[in-house]
Structure 1
Amino acid sequence: MRLSTVILPIYRWHEQGREVWQRAERLGFHAAYTYDHLSWRSFRDKPWFGAVPTLTAAATATSRVRLGTLVTSPNFRHPVTLAKELITLDDVSGGRITLGIGAGGTGFDATALGQVAWTPRERADRLDEFVPLLDRLLTEGAVTQRGTYYSAEEARTIPGCVQRPRLPFAVAATGPRGLRLAARHGQAWVTTGDPALFETGTPEQSRQAIRGQIERLDAACTEIGRDSAELDRILLTGFTPDRNTPLDSLDAFVDFAGRHAELGITEIVIHTPIPDSDWDTDPKVFERIATEAPAQLGR
């Protein structure tokens, strides 16, 4: 079981940002991710910086911790320009980047460019085109492709990624189409649990839902002849019915993580504390979890 963290892109770099990312490395996290949004929920009218520049700065300030997005979506990205940014970021980091990618939702990102928010089906359609094209762009030197939503015309992405054949994709998905994308193109799969259970479900119901998601992921891998054990399984916490209760104490977290490890989760991601927010957890407990939980979970 690996333990990672999410650092929201809310910090001015020279005032606090550098130290927050360096602290994540000192605490021994496997990876430090950030959200790839234009703004997000209660932070919409507060500082919020770009994900790729933030990760680039973090790459120059750290040397070991993996870095990435949880998650990037097509809402305001295009595969050609994103591929160029990713190969640059992978180069700056020395090959430490993971791209979390998903279909996105109906929040501020969905309309910030002036478009009408896409339906769930259109988001799935777009992701179906986006991920395979991005895969090609990151593994081939020049790509021409015509699609319904995304096209490339002799798009050059030389010299490619430091990581070969490309940087890993962590595909966020719960539906059948997304799970098939994860099976075919992912090196990892990401879940936040079942959104339908967030308000009224129980922790046990949530675990059963995640068990079902993993079973469907395994089936999608079997369908294409892939060993599902090749995929890491990442749980981004804070969106299950127990919210942040697992961060109340070291023992509570170890119990939570152990129960999810039994389901097949291989990496758990916790939010770096932010006062007066949904992630207002005790920094001392957070540090204990970061430094002591991995040993108890057998990392």
Structure 2
Amino acid sequence: MNDTARTPQTPLRLSTVILPHRRWHEGARETWLRAEELGFHTAYTYDHLSWRVPFRNGPWFGAVPTLTAAAGITERMRLGTLVTSPNFRHPVTLAKELITLDDISGGRITLGIGAGGTGFDASALSHSGQEAWTPRERADRFGEFVPLLDRLLTEDTVSYDGTFYSAGGAQNIPGCVQRPRLPFAVAATGPRGLKLAARHGQAWVTTGDPKLYENGTPEQSIQAIRGQIGKLTAACDDIGRDVSELDKTLLTGFTPDRGLPMESVDAFVDFAGNHRELGFTEIVVHWPIPDTAFAADQKVFEAIATQALAQLG
């Protein structure tokens, strides 16, 4: 059955993103604990070296150490990146970190992964004066990065000599706690990325259509996302995979609605219900941060976390 025609009874999970902008012992630790208390399915964090204003010139901590600390104080909630990219990661070292993190967490890690973008930290490892990778160059690297990382997380020893990455007898024993490896949530909207999601992903991630963020309407956003899912379906069909095997994750805050769904439980239920009808299985909301694009009333946010899914039925 075409995914865009799935029934409104598609199971839905609610997850959150906790930005790594606070010191662990000055509020961050309590936030991760509270996320588990509220019942979020997964708590993700951004995997960046720095991020946009107003975070650009302030504190910003590493994703893997943050998730390691969160794994040590939580028990049930899944944890993950949303997303990691090749901008400053190498598959060999990343695989070792992920296997360790999966072990420490008892098999609760999801790797959100994407091709990356420009700006912020995209050229942090570049030589002075070197231009950021073009979209084609990012797609080329991503196309090599994901299959190699897949191998590194599933095979004991990997040797590989590629255009952008290499591995010389890289050993990853004992592998992931989750078998055959921890799940990939592939963020993609272009044809090459969608093919990677279809072949290697256990989930697909979108933020909607960025061209609609400033001047689009919620209705236009729904249509654009429906089109993305149609392309994902075609990519799955091309390799003989059922698109329903992939979870579909919407990272909120980047559609024309912006913060409107977080204004009340009813508003969120309407928003989530509209996207569940498209086939989404996971909605991800940002933990409120005052005076930013992710500002929200903490009491409303917690009410959404504890009440919204029950109202969706």
Q: Shorter chain as normaliser: what TM range?
A: over 0.9
Cα distance in 2, alignment partners of residues 297 and 156 from structure 1: 46
Q: Which amino acid letter does the alignment assign opposite residue 82 of structure 2?
A: L
Alignment match of 1:255 (pick from 250, 270, 276): 270
Q: Structure 1-normalised TM-score?
A: 0.99
Q: Which residue of 2 aligns with 1:230?
A: 245
**Map of 1:178-189 to 2, 5 A cutoff?**
178-189=193-204
**Map of 1:196-275 to 2, 5 A cutoff?**
196-275=211-290
Cα distance in 1, alignment partners of residues 110 and 182 from structure 2: 6
Unaligned runs of 5+ in 2: 1-11
Query: C-alpha displacement at 1:182, in angstroms?
Result: 0.1
1:121-140 CA-to-partner distances (Å, cap 9, x unmatched) read 00000000000000000000
1:103-136 CA-to-partner distances (Å, cap 9, x unmatched) read 0000222111124310000000000000000000
Q: Which residue of 1 aligns with 2:136?
A: 121
Q: Which residue of 2 aligns with 1:36?
A: 47
- SS of the residue aligned with 1:22? helix
Q: Which residue of 1 aligns with 2:14?
A: 3
1:161-216 CA-to-partner distances (Å, cap 9, x unmatched) read 00000000000000010000000000000000001111111000000000000011
Q: Which residue of 1 aligns with 2:25?
A: 14
Unaligned runs of 5+ in 1: none
- SS of the residue aligned with 1:108? coil
- SS of the residue aligned with 1:171? strand
Instruction: Name the Cα RMSD after superposition.
Output: 0.7
Farther off after superposition, 110-119 or 92-101 = 110-119
Q: Which residue of 2 aligns with 1:102?
A: 114
Q: Which residue of 1 aligns with 2:175?
A: 160
Q: Which amino acid letter does the alignment assign opposite residue 184 of structure 1?
A: R
**Kindly, what percent of the aligned residue pairs are identical?**
78
Q: Which residue of 1 aligns with 2:299?
A: 284
1:89 aligns with 2:101: yes
Aligned length: 298
- SS of the residue aligned with 1:129? helix
Q: Which amino acid letter does the alignment assign opposite residue 54 of structure 1?
A: T
1:140 aligns with 2:152: no
Q: Which residue of 2 aligns with 1:72?
A: 84
Q: Which amino acid letter does the alignment assign opposite residue 274 of structure 2?
A: R
Q: Which residue of 2 aligns with 1:111?
A: 123
Q: Which amino acid letter does the alignment assign opposite residue 282 of structure 1?
A: D
Q: Which amino acid letter does the alignment assign opposite residue 13 of structure 2?
A: R
Q: Which amino acid letter does the alignment assign opposite residue 99 of structure 2?
A: I
1:50-79 CA-to-partner distances (Å, cap 9, x unmatched) read 000000000001000000000000000000
Cα distance in 1, alignment partners of residues 269 and 255 from structure 2: 16
- SS of the residue aligned with 2:82? strand
Cα distance in 2, alignment partners of residues 59 and 297 from structure 1: 30
Cα distance in 2, alignment partners of residues 296 and 126 from structure 1: 43
Alignment match of 2:70 (pick from 54, 58, 62): 58
Query: C-alpha displacement at 1:277, in angstroms?
Result: 1.1
Cα distance in 1, alignment partners of residues 199 and 125 from structure 2: 30
Q: Which amino acid letter does the alignment assign opposite residue 23 of structure 1?
A: R
1:140-178 CA-to-partner distances (Å, cap 9, x unmatched) read 000001110011000011110000000000000000100
Cα distance in 1, alignment partners of residues 94 and 312 from structure 2: 36
Q: Which amino acid letter does the alignment assign opposite residue 46 of structure 1?
A: G
- SS of the residue aligned with 1:159? coil
Cα distance in 2, alignment partners of residues 84 and 6 from structure 1: 24
1:149 aligns with 2:164: yes
Structure with the larger RCO, 1 or 2 (CA within 8 Å, 6+ apart):
2
